[in-house]
Structure 1
């Protein structure tokens, strides 16, 4: 079978369902501040980073962790990817909204790294991630890099969009 149903419907499946509902709430309730052509790109990037990690570090020969509470690829392992977009979107949304500069921006990045770290700890407690050699401390540099790349990608997209708008003022 390609995708397995959960062996037992428990706290990790409920956590994933809650995460998906949270994403729906974020994308329907928040005022639209990020340009509509940039939002899907941030969403795709927010799904891509964990997907790449999960399909490199979470499988043989590494197999440092499992998604959910089994080594099999379950339906909820796929549904989990619908949980990630709000993280990247809120990160760029708030940095755009708050317009942070200098040291405040550094504190913002550190705060989001800490938030991601604490959220991962919580998800480990709920068996959304089950470590097989991974240590939570390894996630700190990963989050720092991912947040930096997300921000740089966002800045690139905004600059490109502004350049296009200035070249084609009627668009």
Structure 2
């Protein structure tokens, strides 16, 4: 079993990770529930899976580090299993909540890709991401693909959930 160490020192990046998690969790608790519990769990697990999948696909190229060093620490776990899934949940929440028409769906995806890019850029300034051959502008295209994937996943999951309902 893999163990996650504590960081060598607690600084800005760990503080931001905790703060961001508390803010996301606060809004997750406070907002009215948009999905049935089973669909919510699926969205959260899918968010964690897609975050890890990205790292697995890019791992052989060693293009960036997350947090203070290349080894995993407990804050990597918080980022991948709590923050990323909640971020995907909020994308799905607002996408579903506003029932966007086709022409606005694309705009919604673009806006979330821009928001994701801004969060990553701010994270790099705070030391959450350290690039080694990766440029943040590359991430924008990845975010467009991921967010489109989340949209397709939500559509399919809701369709399956509806057809499985008694």
TM-score range, shorter chain: over 0.9
Correspondence for 1:138: 138
SS at match of 2:65: strand
Correspondence for 1:18: 19
Return 5+ residue gaps in structure 1 as ranges.
Answer: none
Alignment coverage as a number of residue pairs: 164
Q: Distance in 2 between matches of 1:156 and 1:56?
A: 24
Return 5+ residue gaps in structure 2 as ranges.
Answer: none
Alignment of 1:23-102 (within 5 A): 23-57=24-58, 59=59, 61-81=60-80, 82-102=82-102
Correspondence for 1:129: 129
Cα deviation digits, residues 36-83 of structure 1 (max 9, x gap): 2100111111111111222342x4x31100010212221211121211
Which structure is higher in helix share?
2
TM-score by length of 2: 0.92
- 1:3 Cα offset (Å): 2.7
Q: Distance in 1 between matches of 2:92 and 2:76?
A: 25
Q: Which consecutive aligned stretches of 4+ in structure 1 deviate over 4 angstroms post-superposition?
A: none
Q: Alignment RMSD, CA only?
A: 1.5
Structure exhibiting the larger radius of gyration computed from Cα positions: 1
